[in-house]
Amino acid sequence: MVTLTIDGRVAKVPAGATVLDAARAIGVRIPTLCQHEALEPWGGCRLCLVDVTKKEWRGWQKMVVSCMFPAEDGLAVATATERVVATRKVVLDLLLARCPDTPLVQRLAHEHGIERTSYQPNPEPTDCVLCGLCTRVCDSIGVSAIATVDRGAGKEVAPPFHQPPPDCIGCLACAEVCPTDCIPYQTSDSARSIWGKTFTMVRCPHCGRAHITREQAAFYAGRGGVPESYFETCDACKRTQMAKTFTSLSAVR
């Protein structure tokens, strides 16, 4: 365990935890946009900045992104120093110019006293805050069907050449991690579509629930070296079957 202080409060966290983890462990809120517990930190949005210092640094302090900086013994963290708040405000001011109509951005900006951006608002407002969560989750699955393209105000997340991405398996992970819900998709018992690509759904042979796309089943089967049919049974029915197996084994004993 390592022991540090955050805004004067003591936090004890396992070695390997980040400053953000430590803050959350003791209920200190630090705003974040590009962090997700299922993904490696990236440090892209810069909202989670904090000041850190140590006794032996003799008054020197540095500004770091708390989602990446390791919690260390003796570290003193300040989450709302003047320069931290000022830097966060610049980030939010710029974000508000890019995404003036996005409720999450409006809320974060409002929490920092910003109601209107001081920059030229984006003539084509978007809800995408460029947090990179969607592309990173897709990469982490091993698909990499989408990427960040273009520069400046036109920067966006898109499939190659803005065409339905051949590699996409329709898992919806990108849409589920998006903090602003700006990746549109449709899903029903028969079909699912996302990024302009349409998928056929696979029904669980036991409960009939359409829970996975045919492409997902094939992808997972290929990676796991197990038959595609294994993925056709939904997780809930797999658990029920397993419980029945254990119950019958116990009865035999």
Task: Determine, following the binding rule CB under 6 A, whether residue 79 of this chain makes contact with ligand FES.
Answer: no
Left, alpha or beta for 54 (phi > 0: left; psi -120 to 50: alpha)?
Answer: beta
Among all chains, which residue has been given the structure tokens 């462990």? 25
Helix axes 103-111, 82-98, angle to 10 degrees: 150
Nearest distance in Å: CB 192, ligand FES:
30
Q: Are 69 and 18 in contact (CB under 8 A)?
A: yes
Nearest to 218 by CA among 202, 240, 206, 234: 202
Size of the site for ligand SF4 (CB under 6 A): 29
Task: Determine, following the binding rule CB under 6 A, whether residue 91 of this chain makes contact with ligand SF4.
Answer: no
Nearest distance in Å: CB 234, ligand SF4:
18
Residue with smaller CB distance to ligand SF4, 141 or 237: 141
Task: Determine, following the binding rule CB under 6 A, whether residue 96 of this chain makes contact with ligand SF4.
Answer: no
Residue range at the interface with ligand SF4 (CB under 6 A); choices 22-30, 67-75, 122-130, 229-237 = 122-130
x/- map, 35-64, ligand FES, by CB under 6 A: x-------xxxxxx----------------
Task: Determine, following the binding rule CB under 6 A, whether residue 157 of this chain makes contact with ligand SF4.
Answer: yes
Binding to ligand SF4 in span 185-204, by CB under 6 A: 194-195
Binding site partner of 48, from ligand FES, ligand SF4, none, Cβ cut-off 5-8 A by kind:
ligand FES
Task: Determine, following the binding rule CB under 6 A, whether residue 128 of this chain makes contact with ligand SF4.
Answer: yes
Q: Which DSSP string do the residues of 64-132 spell out, in sequence order?
A: EETTTSBP-TT-EEESS-HHHHHHHHHHHHHHHHH-TT-HHHHHHHHHTT-SS-SSPPPSS--S-----
Cα separations (Å) of 141 from 50, 89, 211?
31, 34, 18
* The one among 26, 147, 172, 191 contacting ligand SF4 by CB under 6 A: 172
Query: Within 13 Å of residue 130, how many CA atoms lie on the same side as its CB?
Result: 22
Residue with smaller CB distance to ligand SF4, 79 or 135: 135
Please give the residue ranges that form the binding site for ligand FES (CB under 6 A). 32-35, 43-48, 65, 67
